[in-house]
């Protein structure tokens, strides 16, 4: 999210397509702790809630900056249709070997994809099938409180 703040023009349209894995708890956060299952589940829910809150706050910050055209969608389901990282600028696709937060820390490449059109089309279909971040977060919070079940 911090890279979006580096863009000086507020009229640019941003679409973020991420997956549920970015919000689910990282097993390493609770690995090695000898706690009962209920406590483990509670820690997972707290971790997920924190990540949802942080992402929501980052989206709100963009809005406060005047970037009104930023939207986020979350890929859900047991098997996710996307693993790789892409940056699409004016229908030109760039493949990122690392996540953006690892740039400069590990050797990696950013490559322009020669034929972007099929990838852009596939990403658009994924976006159409994905819930908005707001809807996803609302359903996950309900799930955490035990009132509903979501993918």
**Cβ partners under 8 Å of residue 51, min gap 6:** 22, 23, 25
**Mean pLDDT of residues grouped by 10 in the chain (151 residues)?**
68 86 66 60 85 92 85 90 82 82 75 93 94 95 62 49
The answer to the question of residue 5 being in a domain is: no
Confidence (pLDDT) at 25 = 63
Considering the domain architecture, whether residues 94 and 118 belong to the same structural domain is answered as yes
The answer to the question of residue 2 being in a domain is: no
- Split into its structural domains, the chain has a count of 2
Measure Cα distances from 133 to 20, 97, 121 in Å. 10, 25, 21
Q: What is the domain extent for residue 42? A: 14-76+131-146
């Amino acid at each position: 999210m911090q890279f979006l703040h580096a863009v000086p023009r507020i009229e640019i349209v941003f679409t973020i397509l991420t997956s549920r894995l970015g919000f689910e708890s990282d097993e390493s956060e609770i690995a090695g702790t000898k706690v009962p299952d209920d406590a483990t589940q509670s820690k997972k829910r707290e971790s997920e809630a924190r990540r949802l809150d942080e992402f929501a706050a980052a989206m709100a910050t963009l809005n406060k900056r005047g970037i009104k055209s930023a939207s986020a969608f979350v890929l859900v389901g047991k098997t996710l249709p996307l693993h790789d990282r892409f940056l699409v600028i004016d229908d030109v696709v760039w493949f990122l070997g690392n996540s953006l937060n690892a740039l400069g820390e590990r050797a990696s490449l950013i490559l322009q994809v020669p034929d972007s059109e099929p990838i852009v089309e596939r990403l658009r279909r994924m976006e159409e099938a994905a819930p908005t971040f707001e809807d996803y977060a609302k359903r996950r919070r309900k799930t955490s409180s035990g009132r509903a079940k979501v993918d």
